[in-house]
């Protein structure tokens, strides 16, 4: 059974940093690109970043470029999102997702990140 387990969320102040993590199981992790998708309270999903299977190619939404860094450790079946210079508008549930046919076929349960002074 495919599982994605998100962790690392929390409450931080504007300008601070946080790292969210995802551990995958039930499939060959390095066969897939992975993405982070976020969803602010009461809003729709929003793509944040995608990393290819071996970590060589990363893409970012414009609103996080230069602030967030996606990475993966295939030996640990893990995906990470390092978030720096956090803003109140970054408050959201952050989902780890598996990319399949340019869509997201599996989602984690989400990690809640709250940015507030």
Partner 1 sequence: EIVLTQSPVTLSLSPGERATLSCRASQSVSSNFLAWYQQKPGQAPRLLIYGASSRPTGIPDRFRGSGSGTDFTLTITRVEPEDFAVYYCQRYGRSVFTFGPGTKVDIK
In the complex, what is the shortest distance from the CB of residue 15 to partner 1, in angstroms, rounded to a whole number? 27
Please report whether residue 42 would count as binding partner 1 according to CB under 8 A: no
The residues, any chain, with a CB within 8 Å of residue 39's CB and separated by 6 or more, are: 45, 46, 92, 93, 95, 110
> Least distance to partner 1 from the beta carbon of 84, Å?
22
Question: CB of 117: closest distance to partner 1 in angstroms?
Answer: 28
Residue 111, interface with partner 1 (CB under 8 A)? no
- Rounded Cα gap, residues 60 and 50, in angstroms: 7
Which string of x and - marks every residue 65-104 that binds partner 1 (by CB under 8 A)?
------------------------------x----xxxxx
Counting Cβ atoms within 10 Å, is residue 4 exposed (0-12), middle (13-18) or buried (19+)? buried
Among residues 17 and 109, whose Cβ is nearest to partner 1?
Answer: 109
Q: How many CA atoms lie within 13 A of 112 on its CB side?
A: 4
Query: Is there binding between residue 9 and partner 1 (CB under 8 A)?
Result: no
* Interacting residue ranges for partner 1, rule: CB under 8 A: 35, 37, 44-47, 50, 59, 61, 95, 100-105, 107-110
């Amino acid at each position: 059974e495919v599982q994605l387990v998100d962790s690392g969320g929390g409450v931080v102040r504007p300008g601070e940093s946080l790292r969210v993590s995802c551990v995958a199981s039930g499939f060959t992790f390095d066969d897939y690109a992975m993405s982070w998708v976020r969803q602010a309270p009461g809003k729709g999903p929003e793509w944040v970043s995608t990393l290819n299977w071996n970590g060589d190619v990363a893409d970012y939404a414009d609103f996080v470029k230069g602030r967030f860094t996606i990475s993966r450790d295939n030996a640990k079946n893990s995906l990470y999102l390092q978030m720096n210079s956090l803003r109140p508008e970054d408050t959201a549930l952050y989902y780890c997702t598996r990319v399949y046919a340019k869509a997201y076929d599996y989602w984690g349960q989400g990690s809640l990140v709250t940015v507030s002074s």
